[in-house]
Amino acid sequence: MVQMSKTVFIIVDGMADLPIKRLNGKTPLEYALKSNLYKFLKHSEFAYPNVLGKLAPQSDAGVMADLGYDPFKYSTGRGWFECLGLDMQPQNGQLSVRVNFGSVSDGKLKDVRVYMSKEEIESLSEEIRKKVKVSAEFDFKAGEGYRAGLVFRSGKKDFSPFVSNNEPGYTAKFFKGGVKLSFATGIKNTKINKIKAVRKEAEYTASILNDFIKKSAMVIKNSKVYRERRKKRLELPNYIFLRDASNRDPNLEDINRKYGKRWAAVVGMPLEKGIAKSAGMSLINVHERNDLKEDFNEKADYVEKALSKFDAVYLHIKQTDSVSHLGKFLDKYAIIEAIDKIIISRLSKIMDLSKDTLVLTCDHATSSELKRHINSNIPVLISNGRFGFHSNFGEAECSKDHTKEIKKAVDIMPFVMKI
């Protein structure tokens, strides 16, 4: 029996960037040494699609688009995927929300992200779950670093997604068919906003969310984690920022049936887990590790194992986006080099480069000088024996030479699946 060809689809979070003076006018991707990738570049096609037009995408929209789901058709708000990925089992009619632990000072914004250890964020989330009393039943669960999920199970009235975010960097927009998407609009001032109802039917939801924010801030300030971090002079979380409340399943079509291939996902972050689960992929849970080498080696192991059982594997890599938000462009190109050295090198040994397909792309561009997502097009490398030679992979190369069949990010998957 002839073995079916395999596909590995890698989304490197926020990998694309703008040219940086200190990198000789190159982007981190262009600047990085990618010696293992050359094996894949020998037979490759490039694409340079836009993700959401003029708007700067969040990761949820970027990943959906890359996997072939038009965000303008499917998105019901990121909160659904986040809470699903945290195994909180959101249901239609309930309200799923993404939470950031942040800090305010004298009523002004200090930080939308206060990183905590696993123990700290779990202990703090447990206190919130036990001590916050609002007029609706809820679950609250710790995620990674500064992230958590919140699901309101039942309330006095129906929940509505037509509310704004109090997370100042992301603006919620509403489109026809109940589509809800947030865009990275950047933080313009230090004002702390309340959550507002965009439609009258959402007034109850907005009031519950604002009540929850107020009461959880009091719980945080009296928590064990707060006291202990103050003693250690660490940055103090004292406020929560909510975004992307969703009240229904986006009902993504099953990816296995859509393309007739069995998909597995090697993902560690709740959002990406939630999207993979919604798409019907088999989840291979990996823990995000702090040590880069350990993390990439483990991910490579899982991809290798998954490839022996599945036709296609989606791998998500987070670190590039995290360092971009912190402005660390030197770390960004070093991470891209480590991806090449550990993951791409492994793939070059286990994939049949003449018939298997490798896709290397990102969900959106993140500018490490602006420290936020931007609306730039994304570079896409599609490697398969049928394509011709390219000498380097980066934003400039893709912009100069790319297939016309892929105009938007949502076109990548159908193109790849028909190779």
Contact residues toward Zn ion (CB under 5 A) are: 13-14, 59, 321, 363
Least separation in angstroms between CB 124 and Zn ion: 25
- Closer residue to Zn ion in complex, CB, 77/307: 77
CA 135 to the chain's CA centroid: 31
d(CA 58, CA 40): 29
Closest approach, Cβ 105 to Zn ion, in A, equals: 28
DSSP lists the bridge partners of residue 50 as: 408
- Least distance to Zn ion from the beta carbon of 414, Å? 22
- Nearer of residues 196 and 371 to Zn ion, judged by Cβ: 371
Nearer to Zn ion by C-beta: 64 or 398?
Answer: 64
d(CA 172, CA 378): 23
In angstroms, what is the minimal distance from the CB of 13 to Zn ion? 4
**Smallest gap, in angstroms, from Cβ of residue 183 to Zn ion?**
13
| Number of neighbouring beta carbons within 10 Å of residue 244 | 26
Long-range contacts of 260-265 (CB under 8 A, 24+ apart): 261/4, 261/7, 261/311, 261/312, 261/417, 262/309, 262/310, 262/311, 262/312, 263/310, 263/311, 263/312, 263/313, 263/314, 264/306, 264/309, 264/310, 264/312, 264/313, 264/314, 265/313, 265/314, 265/315, 265/316
Specify the residue, 58 or 223, whose C-beta has the smaller distance to Zn ion.
Answer: 58
Q: Which is closer to Zn ion, CB of 54 or CB of 133?
A: 54
Question: Between 11 and 202, whose beta carbon lies closer to Zn ion?
Answer: 11
**Nearest-angstrom CA–CA distance, 302 and 314:** 11
**Closest CB 318 distance from Zn ion, rounded Å:** 8
Question: Least CB distance from residue 320 to Zn ion, whole Å?
Answer: 9
Minimum distance, C-beta of residue 230 to Zn ion, in the bound complex (Å): 32
What's the token pair of residue 255? 């990816």
CB of 367 to Zn ion, least distance (A): 13
In this structure, the number of other CB atoms found within 10 A of the CB of residue 232 comes to 7
Nearest to 92 by CA among 202, 252, 277, 248: 248
N-terminal to C-terminal alpha carbon distance within the chain: 20
Beta carbons within 8 Å of 260's beta carbon, 6+ residues apart: none
**In whole angstroms, how close is the CB of 381 to Zn ion at the nearest point?**
18
The CB density around residue 220, as the number of other CB atoms within 10 Å, is: 23
Q: Tell me the residue nearest to Zn ion as measured from the CB.
A: 59
Nearer to Zn ion, 111 or 321 (CB): 321
Of 13 and 82, CB closest to Zn ion: 13
| Closer CB to Zn ion, 59 or 278, in the complex | 59
Residue closer to Zn ion (CB basis): 321 or 411: 321
